Amino acid sequence: MRTWLKIGLAIVVLYGVLCGAALLVMYQTPERFSRVMMDVPDAAFVVLPFKPLWYTARAGRLHPGDPAPGFSLPTQDQKATVRLASYRGSEPVVLVFGSYT
């Protein structure tokens, strides 16, 4: 009976360590995260709770009503730079990230 208890405890500890390691990797930059995830075996995606860990790691610090962080982006033709702060208080701004292909 004690042997099974030790095995069970070892499995629980190992699972916790693996979940903690996955969460730690998810807090890294996208480049580092992708390099690590390339080497993760497919079975890990079935066993570990990746979706809740991902939502925890990438939740961010902004809340509804908070001002958007400032940033600058080049225009599509690369001839000018657009700053988000230049629109503050003058008109609504909608940011769309994605692909239209």
In a domain, residue 84? The reply is no
Q: What is the pLDDT of residues 1-16, one digit of tens each?
A: 899 999 999 999 999 9
Query: How many domains in the chain?
Result: 1
- Per the structure, the complete domain to which residue 6 belongs is given by 2-57
34-83 per-position pLDDT tens digit:
999 999 999 999 999 999 999 999 888 888 888 888 889 898 899 999 99
Measured CA distances, 16 to 9, 13, 19, 27, 39 (Å): 11, 5, 5, 17, 19
Whole-prediction pTM: 0.61
- Residue 15 falls inside a structural domain: yes
Residue 80 lies in a domain: no
Does residue 42 lie within any of the structural domains?
Answer: yes
Contact 22, 50 (CB under 8 A): yes
Q: Does residue 11 sit within a domain? A: yes
Does 44 map to a domain?
yes
For residue 45, being part of any structural domain is answered with yes
